[in-house]
Amino acid sequence: MKKGFDNKKYVKIQSAKIRERFKLFDKLYLEIGGKLFDDSHASRVLPGFLSDSKINMFKELKDDLEIIFCINAGDIEKNKTRGEYGITYDNEVLKLINMSTKMGFSVNSVVITLYNNQVSVDKFIKKLNRNGIKTYIHRFTKGYPTDVDTIVSEEGYGANPYIETTKKLILVNAPGPGSGKLATCLSQLYHENKRGINAGYAKFETFPVWNLPLKHPVNLAYEAATADLKDINMIDPFHLNNYNITAINYNRDIELFPVLKAILSRVSNKDIYKSPTDMGVNMVGFCITDNDVVEDAAKREIVRRYYNELNSYKMGISDEEPYKKVKLLMNELKIDENYLDVIKPAMDKSKKENLPVIAMKVNKKIITGKQTDLLTPAASVVLNAIKYLSKIPDEILLLSPNVLQPMLALKKEMNDGNRLTLTEVLTALSICSVTNDMIKRALSAISKLNGCEAHATYLVTNGDKSSLKKLKINLTCESEYIENIE
């Protein structure tokens, strides 16, 4: 895959920008928009961006920082999940804490925002406390968002408990949007400045990219990714008015800025930021090295988002507005579903065979895998792909039916499906590789599937979906649900 982004330069100039910002204050609360770990969206739309860039960059600042995680009490009560991984927000918080501490970062606490005495939330708080994790409860802020006098008072932010922090840089992160990161930062600024501490706020959010054009595919890909949130990219009018420079931000930050500016000014008795773009520290736009590569990657991501939103609609998870919005973005860019060149081959093969099929692009070659008596399409296509990458002739079987049949018989006995899944086949291969060098060679090619495009002619909802994601294969699916695919 061609690269269009200089990750090494990004880490260097981004960490320098953050250092520059926190030198302005005794203590800086840095709101982390998007993902702190595994930013897969960024790595897809900016080829060359490493998904762990953010957290690795903060390693250089590790001695000076601690992390606060926020979670909305309503999201716990609703069992809200992260669509990309199918994990609930409360479990994602526990996962983030575990990952942070394993990397040597100091985790300060978890803030439960918009708490309203929910029973399920109390259980989560108990779980956190029993695992030695400090928790703080924030209820709805009185007067928010318009009554600044009440917000910046003992009735407003003053009603929240003060979170004791000891480092100069405090990262405020969350499992998803609407978790209360900004409110937590502002509440802390109120308490810190009351104690005579010169505390400040900044925002580190990768998208939209402020110094790319409004209709750049990378920025439109952000709109596609947040279609369910109804985010709309806009020219920052405050930035344009104050600096005569065009900068891109999104509707929520722009709409909230006058109130946020008033709150920040009241809390700290300073007027540092003249625009929402000023608050950001994002340097990603300066590290794009090949715009054509990046534009192509972003367009492909928009098509993937279209399929994801369409599937969510067909499954009853969302309404029709998100997928229609993404379709409008595709129209704006003059692209359609076939911009992903795995889609037509998958559909053609399925029509010819009258079977479910997955097509995958591997090194410019389209590989297909169909459902068989033994295997799911996912298992078939990955087997075919690693054989191709290992230069193993198609007619050679990596696993003989003598190996697979007993496994399948056991599955049927356990009422666990009619075909072997991708994970089961890879497990069988790994066992057989101990005595078979050809299989060992084929398995060594698995990592080369990272970033490959794939399209299924059916809705992949079983364990195969998770397995393909773990291999970092970019999967899109038709909305047709097929029973007994396993």
339 band by pLDDT with thresholds 50, 70 and 90: very high
Match 């988002």 to its residue by tokens.
305
Judgement on whether residues 178 and 55 belong to the same structural domain of the protein: yes
Q: Are 360 and 452 in contact (CB under 8 A)?
A: yes
Percentage of the chain lying above the pLDDT 70 cut: 98
Mean predicted confidence (pLDDT) in 358-364: 96
Mean predicted confidence (pLDDT) in 103-107: 96
Is the N-terminal amide bond of 208 cis, ω within 30° of 0?
Answer: yes
Residue 485, pLDDT > 70, answer no
Q: Which domain holds residue 380?
A: 340-477
Residue 483, pLDDT > 90, answer no
Alpha carbon 308 to its chain's center? 14
Residue, of 194 and 82, whose pLDDT is higher: 194
Instruction: Provide the pLDDT for residue 85.
Output: 64
Domain assignment present for residue 327? The answer is: no
**Mean predicted lDDT score pLDDT of the chain:** 94
242: left (phi > 0), else alpha (psi -120 to 50), else beta? alpha
Kindly report the CATH number assigned to the domain that includes residue 157: 3.10.630.10
Q: Are 138 and 121 in contact (CB under 8 A)?
A: no
SS3 state at 113: strand
Into how many domains does the chain fold? Answer: 2
Residue 52, pLDDT > 80, answer yes
Instruction: Give per-residue pLDDT as tens, 388-437.
Output: 999 999 889 898 888 888 888 888 888 888 899 999 999 999 999 999 99
Count of beta carbons in the 10 Å neighbourhood of residue 161: 12
Question: Which structure tokens are listed for 387?
Answer: 């054989």
Instruction: Give per-residue pLDDT as tens, 274-315.
Output: 999 999 999 999 999 999 999 999 999 999 999 999 999 998
Instruction: Provide the pLDDT for residue 83.
Output: 63
Judgement on whether residues 259 and 351 belong to the same structural domain of the protein: no
Domain assignment present for residue 186? The answer is: yes
SS3 state at 28: strand
Judgement on whether residues 241 and 367 belong to the same structural domain of the protein: no
Domain assignment present for residue 309? The answer is: no
Domain assignment present for residue 485? The answer is: no
Mean predicted confidence (pLDDT) in 217-244: 96
Judgement on whether residues 240 and 366 belong to the same structural domain of the protein: no
Residue 232 DSSP label: -
Judgement on whether residues 200 and 99 belong to the same structural domain of the protein: yes
Judgement on whether residues 262 and 384 belong to the same structural domain of the protein: no
- Rounded CA-CA distance 459/311 in Å is 8
Count of beta carbons in the 10 Å neighbourhood of residue 485: 21
Kindly report the CATH number assigned to the domain that includes residue 372: 3.40.140.40
Instruction: Give per-residue pLDDT as tens, 183-225.
Output: 999 999 999 999 999 999 999 999 999 999 999 999 999 999 9
Instruction: Provide the pLDDT for residue 411.
Output: 85
Domain assignment present for residue 148? The answer is: yes
Judgement on whether residues 177 and 84 belong to the same structural domain of the protein: yes
Edge-to-edge strand order for the sheet containing 453-456? 365-370, 357-362, 453-456, 474-477
Judgement on whether residues 243 and 370 belong to the same structural domain of the protein: no
Domain assignment present for residue 210? The answer is: yes
- Rounded CA-CA distance 245/448 in Å is 42
Q: In the listed set 287, 305, 330, which residue is the last one of a domain according to the structure?
A: 287
Judgement on whether residues 46 and 174 belong to the same structural domain of the protein: yes
Residue 73, pLDDT > 90, answer yes
Domain assignment present for residue 195? The answer is: yes
Judgement on whether residues 278 and 373 belong to the same structural domain of the protein: no
Tell me the one-letter amino acid at 213. P
Domain assignment present for residue 225? The answer is: no
Residue 484, pLDDT > 70, answer no
462 band by pLDDT with thresholds 50, 70 and 90: confident
Instruction: Give per-residue pLDDT as tens, 139-184.
Output: 999 998 889 999 999 999 999 999 999 999 999 999 988 899 999 9
